Structure 1
Amino acid sequence: MDHLPSPTVLASGISVLRAENPSEMTLDGTNSYLLFDQGLDAPSAGSAVIVVDPGPQLEEHMAALAAFDVRLILSTHRHPDHTAAVARLHELTGAPARARLEQFCHGAPVLEDGEVIVAAGTSVQVVLTPGHTSDSLCLVQLGAHPQLLTGDTVLGRGTTILEHPDGTLADYLDSLAKLAALPDMPLRPGHGEQHAGSHRLLAAYIKHREERLEQVRAALAKLGKAGADAQPAELLEFVYPDLDPRLVGAASHSIQAQLHYLATKS
């Protein structure tokens, strides 16, 4: 590992290192973020950093993160493409690890909504955003150049799945509204491209969910069923007519979340 991959600087105080785990679910791979003093244009080897979502357990990726002075490890949610490297990075660096779930915490407590964390010359505020999963959260790097790190709550392209019944559409819509109420700032997703502003993408996400609900309502009307009586498999061809077969499971989860939402709202 003489030539470890280098993080890409996004702005003062934030860099990204993409893991080599591309798939239909992870897009180009998991984005691991390094947060550091916003007075620095870029971190150098040994710079103090917070690592957000260390990603899958890939030795080269973990070694590249561990080349910095890791002071804290944060996870946005439990999925292994974000958390599989947590224990190993903690072992390599000695840095405490924090998440919403205790199983991903090492030497530190679970994260709480609204909590402000100060470490590595920067500060981060926790914003709980359940919906993708019940433990999903976003992070706002505070300071002169605020940044919104969204994990899988908002992706750089496409839309995220709701892992129903753990993640519910009611929670997800509330979480999107919560993020939209924050000031507009660069959006740093767990997968996919970077965005210069958050409001435009959040508005598109909210609109997409509203349109998808209308599609589900229309499909139910064609089937002559109520939301509580239908199964996701019955609606797939109506809601996702050109669905990639590899995404049937994810689409079914999302339809189940929509059916549950409509059943509870009726």
Structure 2
Amino acid sequence: MRILRVLAPNPGIRELEGTNTWIVGDGPSIAIDPGPDDAGHLREVAREAGHLAAILLTHDHPDHAPGAAALAVATGAPVYAARPPEGAKRLTDGQRIVVGDVVLTAIATPGHTLDHIAYFDERHRSLFTGDSVLGRGTSVIDPPEGDLTSYLRSLRRMRELSPSVIYPGHGPVVLDAPGKLEEYVQHRAAREEQVLAALASGVRTPEEIVPAIYGDHPADLHPLAARSVLAHLLKLENEGRAERRTTAGAVRWTLLEPRTCVRCGRPVKGRGLLCGPCSLAVLQESG
């Protein structure tokens, strides 16, 4: 099966060398992530695609999706997305896109964005990951749309697919897909431990935490790193392991001591005395 990359001319901190537009199949073909609305890039995509039968979006970020409308007009191909722009068709988790001998399954992978979709070719064990997995470096999880809990769940789901090769939204092809996915899971676990250690040492804001754990990264990456740290803090807050307090307009974070339910001994989120099941049981008993 033919898989061809057309690199968009939009290099940057997040985009690396640029957005990878993937052309899958050969007469008819599929284009994944047309990228920005750049006339020269879209002409090259249309030329390389030949008979383009479908345009798929992994998510609606401006480095991946804007070119879809113009490419659809130029080729007549329909656009598919989980959060479809005007005129596009909605994709759902598990939906199959069949074009010639190419069969791709849409895999909901929220975390980088709420609408993120990966595409899996089961026959060839190929996974098109958009921004959920990059060819180099790690994906930015930027709240509020970026959600680390969802992202970790998506990484585990992609790992369960047992892909062989990853075709990412940015960066080079990943030939060891299982190794890369495990690396991503372990990286996030290590970052969480670093965030916990920073909080334990008295550091209280994402901006203060960044130098402690991203000291080997260029300073121009620190604002993005602070967003990823915030994603970790929000996850810890949701798990009842950290909390935020606002003092004089400034938000500061602190660790919470682990608490257990006074009734059953299960872990309790936040400062409550009862876990969820016991709270429900007490309500039912009192009713």
TM-score, reference length from structure 1: 0.85
Partner amino acid, structure 1, of 2:87: H
1:130–1:172 Cα contact (<8 Å) kept: yes
2:161 is the alignment partner of 1:187: no
2:1 is the alignment partner of 1:22: no
Q: Quick one: which of 237, 249, 254 aligns to 1:263?
A: 237
Output the CA distance in 1 between the equivalents of 2:79 and 2:61.
15
Q: Give the equivalent residue in structure 2 for 1:106.
A: 87
Q: How far apart are 1:107 and its partner, in Å?
A: 4.5
Classify 1:120/1:106 alpha carbon distance in 2 versus 1 (closer, same or farther; 3 Å): farther
Output the CA distance in 1 between the equivalents of 2:140 and 2:13.
12
| Aligned-partner SS, 1:102 | coil
2:140 is the alignment partner of 1:161: yes
Aligned-residue Cα RMSD (Å) equals: 1.4
Q: How far apart are 1:197 and its partner, in Å?
A: 2.7
| Aligned-partner SS, 2:224 | helix
Q: Give the equivalent residue in structure 2 for 1:236.
A: 210
Output the CA distance in 1 between the equivalents of 2:190 and 2:153.
16
Range moving further from structure 2, 205-214 or 242-251 = 242-251
Partner amino acid, structure 2, of 1:139: Y
1:130-209 aligned within 5 A: 130-143=110-123, 145-209=124-188
Identity of aligned residues (%): 36
Q: Quick one: which of 27, 34, 47 aligns to 1:54?
A: 34
| Aligned-partner SS, 2:201 | helix
1:90–1:106 Cα contact (<8 Å) kept: no
1:3-18 aligned within 5 A: 12-18=1-7
| Aligned-partner SS, 1:81 | coil
Alignment gaps of 5+ in structure 2: 241-287
TM-score, reference length from structure 2: 0.79
Q: How far apart are 1:94 and its partner, in Å?
A: 1.3
Deviations 1:162-186 (A, max 9, x none): 0211111100110000011112311
The ranges of structure 1 where at least 4 consecutive aligned residues each deviate by more than 6 angstroms after the TM superposition are none
Q: Quick one: which of 35, 49, 72 aligns to 1:90?
A: 72
Q: How far apart are 1:234 and its partner, in Å?
A: 2.1
Range moving further from structure 2, 211-220 or 55-64 = 55-64
Output the CA distance in 2 between the equivalents of 1:70 and 1:184.
25
Output the CA distance in 2 between the equivalents of 1:256 and 1:70.
41
Output the CA distance in 1 between the equivalents of 2:192 and 2:122.
35
Q: Give the equivalent residue in structure 2 for 1:227.
A: none
Output the CA distance in 1 between the equivalents of 2:171 and 2:156.
21
Output the CA distance in 2 between the equivalents of 1:34 and 1:190.
12
| Aligned-partner SS, 1:15 | strand
Partner amino acid, structure 2, of 1:149: F
Alignment gaps of 5+ in structure 1: 1-11, 37-42, 225-229
2:58 is the alignment partner of 1:69: no
